Structure formats: structure tokens, C-alpha cells
Amino acid sequence: MTPRRTPSAPLPGRRHSHGGALLPAVLLLLLVASAAQVTSGRSAIQTGHRASERSIAALAQARDALIGYAFSYPELLHDGQGIGYLPCPDKTNSGSVSLGACNARDHGAIGRFPYRTLGLPVLRDHHGQCLWYAVAGSVKHNPKPLVLNWDSPGQFRIVSPSGRTISGAEHDVVAVILAPGAALSGQIRPPAATTGTPPQHCPGSASASDDLPAFLDITYATDITGNIDIIQGEPGTNVNDTAAWITVDELFNTLRRRSDFPGMIDGILDAAATALQSRLTVTSPGNPASIDTAFLTAQAETIIGNRAHGRLPNSATLGLTAEAAPAHDNWRDQSRFVACMDGSACLTATLADSAVLSPISATETCRALVLFGGERSRGDLPQRRSTAAERADPGQYLEGINRVSFTTGTGDYAGYRHYAIADPLQPASEDLIRCIP
């Protein structure tokens, strides 16, 4: 059977040059078809309550716009920066992301939905209320997290008023959009200000922190540390806020459709392998290409016989260029290395091109290997990378003989040279390998 190629989403077109509407409407239309295939969060808008079609439509449009922003982040006047970042909330009721940071690094934030920044009209729910928005510190754009990839943690879990979990067992939600609905008893919502530049279109003051209790039925902290539950309103309860959300898996299901995504992953591995090869190689009189055993000993987590194993060092330790460093550090937690302590080619790797191209493989002998674990497998034996202990476990990244060989210090390796998506509905969990001869 001939392997099927997965079509990639085209890169967005020309950059929009005006800060007031960073995301062109054309890009939104292009992305809706792609994002609609992974909108389990959007579908869940309709679970457990009877929100009107207007609220559902507004929440869905906001959700697609956020995914579009993350998809096109490098093109939206952020040259040279990675994909996946989501905007901070609107803290001043201007419709735009406020200047400066939204809270400290890794802290989540909540405020009004920044419709102007996303190039959208004012989005209102079925009671004419403007939308609110919470973003996790792991994906917000200012200050950026030190690591952003498909294993980045969420901070939110969506629950019913009775505490029943709606979004999943873990706090894996990275963004939530909220429609406030009708004011409850005790909520006094001041009208929009009639003066100011730009004019204020949403009811309330210029302070999201002050206004939050008047619009949302739960008084969430606007500076969010740790994980929190966000309550999805239900009829007959004292909560009528309607939520839509995005998990990190849903976000990256769309991000990986970029036509340059496979090349980005391959480029990160190529740069890491080249840097590791240079870092391992030392020259000395009479031995022009010996191994740097001191470096290996310092970086190894385990040494079994002639093999050193460990997590790939950071960009500064490897000596990567300033251009390559951010991407490497964002994704290096996916990678491990194994190297021969005596500098010999003691490792054997059987490599095919990719999971969607010719299955023909070749065996190579190597002094060291760079191993990239790929996306988490999510079948009967799912990989988990939430806790520090899970992220330290090579079995949560490597599969099959690679996991066995890496943990036992014996045996061969097998994998692919290039990242590819064999099935767009399944994680690309195949191990990628770079051989250092």
C-alpha cells in the first residue's frame, strides 16, 4: 500500500501592517476550515446548558481567531519568533492587548477578549455582553514562557457548578473564552464610556480587575498562579457564564498543519546534532578526532558500560547560534542523546526516511545519536508528560526498542530521519533519530 501524504496548510499570506487589526479577515476565513476539524472545545460549548445561537457563534468565532493568531504569530509583526503564542487579554476595555506584560512569566491572566487586536468586530453574547478571556502563562505572548511546545501545560479545567469535570481529567486547557450572559442579582454593570481614544464599545470601566465581579459569576483572580477551575454555567444554578476553550493538544493539532512545521522540527534536530557533534569532538596531538569524555560525563544522566545517556543540553551548553537557540530550547525536552564514551561507533540505528514516505531503511553505525520522541502517544498505553517525574522518564518519549535500548544501555535503535504526519487525526509519535558518525 502506498503511504498517503498528508496535505499541509498553506502559510499565511502577506503580513498585515496595522497594529489595530493584526489578523486579516482573509486569514480567519482560511483557518476556520482547518480549526473546525479539531474544535472539540467549541462543540463542548453546547454541553450542559442552553446558550443561544448568538453566544455559541461569538464564542466559536473568538476561539477560531485565537487559534489563527497562534498559527500566524511569526507573520503578525513578530519576525523570527515561534508559533503557538496567544495574546494577553484586554485589561483596559479598549479592545486591544494593553502595552506591557500581563502578569509575571508563567502566570495566567484574565480580562476582556481583545477583539481589536485580532482584527474582529466587537463580539457579544445573547445578552449583548462583550466576551471575556483567560490565557495560561504557558502560552501567553508577554512575557513568553521559557518553553512552548505540544507538551506545554495548561492552567484551566472546565467544570460544572456541581464540580463535574467537563473539559478533561487534567488542567490541560490553555485558553478560555467566556460569555457573561445576563446580570445576576447584585451584579451592576456600568455602561460603556462615551469618551476616550479609542472609543469604548464594551460596558464597564477601563479596569478589567475592577469589573470582573460585575460580569463573571465567579470572582477569578486576574493574576493566575497555579491551576484553577473555570465554571461552565448551567440552567437552574447561580452561574450562567458560557465557556469555550482550547487545550494544548487542540492548539497544536492546528499548528502542525503549517507547511513549514515539518521543516522546523527537522531543522531543530539537524542543528542539535551538528552542535552535539562539534561539542563532542576534541583534537589533540596524534588524535585529531577524539571524544570529549569530560563533557559526556558532565551531561550524562546515566552511564552504562560504554554508553552515556541523557537529556539533550540547552542551547548555551551546545554552543548554538542566537538564531537557532530559541527553537532548540523550546523543543529540547523532546530529545535525548546517547553517545559512545570511547569515541567509537558503538551504536547501530536503522533509519527510514519518514512515516509517510518509502519504508525502505538503512542501517548506520554512529558515535552518538540524537533521539526525538515526537508527540505523546494517546492509545491504550498513553504517554504522560505533565509532572517533573514524567518528563524525566525516557519511556514517556521513546518507544519500542529505543526505549529499551536507552534504559538498559544495550541494543540497537530504529526510527525516522524526518518528521511527518501519517494520519492527521492521530499524534505523530514516531521517534526521529539523527546519527553522528
Residue-wise pLDDT tens digits, 106-131: 999 999 999 999 999 999 999 999 99
- Output the pLDDT for position 196: 63
Give residue 225's Cα distance to chain centre: 19
Which residues pair with residue 413 across a beta bridge? 349
CA 216 – CA 241 distance, rounded (Å): 7
Alpha-carbon Rg for the chain, nearest whole angstrom, is 24
User: Residue 99 has what pLDDT?
Assistant: 85
- Which residue shows C-alpha cell 540505528? 349
What pLDDT, on a 0 to 100 scale, did the predictor assign at position 7? 35
The terminus-to-terminus CA distance of the chain in angstroms comes to 33
pLDDT digits (tens, 9 = 90+) for 270-327: 999 999 999 998 876 666 568 899 999 999 999 999 999 999 999 999 999 999 999 9
Half-sphere exposure of residue 104: CA atoms within 13 angstroms, side-chain side? 3
Mean pLDDT computed over 398-414: 97
How many other CB atoms are found less than 10 A from the CB of residue 248?
22
Question: What's the pLDDT band for 210 if we cut at 50, 70, 90?
Answer: very high
Inform me whether the pLDDT recorded for 49 exceeds 60: no
Cβ proximity of 68 and 28 under 8 Å:
yes
Residues 6+ away with beta carbon under 8 Å from 2: none
- Enter the pTM of the model: 0.86
User: Where in the chain are the domains?
Assistant: 19-255, 261-436
| Per-residue pLDDT reduced to its tens digit, 227-255 | 999 999 998 899 999 999 999 999 999 99
Local confidence band at 69 (pLDDT 50, 70, 90 cut-offs): very high
| pLDDT confidence of residue 27 | 44
Say whether pLDDT at 137 is over 80: yes
User: Is residue 39 scored above 50 in pLDDT?
Assistant: no
Cα(176)–Cα(311) distance, integer angstroms: 33
